Amino acid sequence: MRDASGLLAEKLLPNDCFVCGHRAGPGLVCTTCLDALPHQLPSCPVCAIPVDGGLICGRCQRQAPAFDATFAALSYVFPVDRLVRALKYRHRLAVSGFFAQALQPLSPPEGEVVIVPMPLHFNRLRQRGFNQAAEIARPLARAWELPLELDGVCRVRDTAAQASLPWTERRVNMRGAFRCDVSFRGKTVVVIDDVMTTGATLDELARTLKSHGAARVENRVVARTPLPV
């Protein structure tokens, strides 16, 4: 049952649902659309691609990526794709908090853990004005009570947009894209990102993190594309 302050906020600060346009109260998405969000299906525990029974997929068995595990909250279909684009290209920063809430149940592993948001190259950061992965990671770090590393890992190559490339070329495109200036010796690094497609960017970042001592790298992504593209 909502308390008086919550009812007052709903009356004073009503929002229209980002998805359907109907009254959503103080939230970004109304209850009906929230319940209808496309949650991730049983998936490969390594790359999070949907797989019957949640077994390790054939690709990960043939060529394991540098990261050890991936967990996705949602599937990258409507309306999640619309929400992602609104955050990245329309500066709807409220969406980052909504995504953080979606990721919060995907709890991090036990042990010595640090959170690293997917770095954004300086040119793209200057153009966009913010790093959407960092905006999602900040409230998660507070909720999970874990350290957040924002400065020690950076993107040093302004690579071609992955979405513009065939999936077979994306791994080559990302080689040498990251630099790490801190030690993660013996730690588990949880990488936060918005969307995972082939995983080539996350793979290269995990390779960099492990070369600087990370014992394990796990990804927490808001959405996973249904199939590699």
pLDDT in tens, 42-91: 999 999 999 988 899 999 999 999 999 999 999 999 999 999 999 999 88
Q: Check whether residue 57 and residue 159 sit in a common domain.
A: yes
Other beta carbons within 10 Å of 17: 19
- 4 and 86 in a single domain? The answer is no
Whether residue 42 is found in the same domain as residue 31: no
Shared-domain flag, residues 27 and 62: no
Distance between CA 113 and CA 200 in Å, rounded?
23
Q: Do 203 and 153 share a domain, yes or no?
A: yes
What are the beta bridge partners of residue 120?
none
CATH of the domain at 81: 3.40.50
Residue 178 belongs to domain spanning: 38-224
Number of domains in the chain: 2
**Cα–Cα distance, 165 to 158 (Å, whole number):** 14
Report yes or no on 45 lying in a domain.
Answer: yes
- Same-domain check for residues 10 and 117: no
CB atoms within 10 A of CB 118: 24
- 10 and 62 together in one domain: no
pTM, to two decimals: 0.87
Tokens 């995907």 label which residue? 106
48 CB burial (10 A radius; 0-12, 13-18, 19+):
buried
For residues 45 and 146, membership in a common domain is answered with: yes
Contact present, 196 and 225 (Cβ < 8 Å):
yes
Query: Are both 142 and 73 inside the same structural domain?
Result: yes
Is 68 in the same domain as 22?
no
| One domain for residues 146 and 99 | yes
pLDDT tens sequence across 143-197? 999 999 999 999 988 765 555 555 555 656 667 789 999 999 999 999 999 999 8
Q: Residue holding tokens 């394990």?
A: 216
Is residue 116 situated within a structural domain?
A: yes
Give a yes or no: residue 229 inside a domain.
no
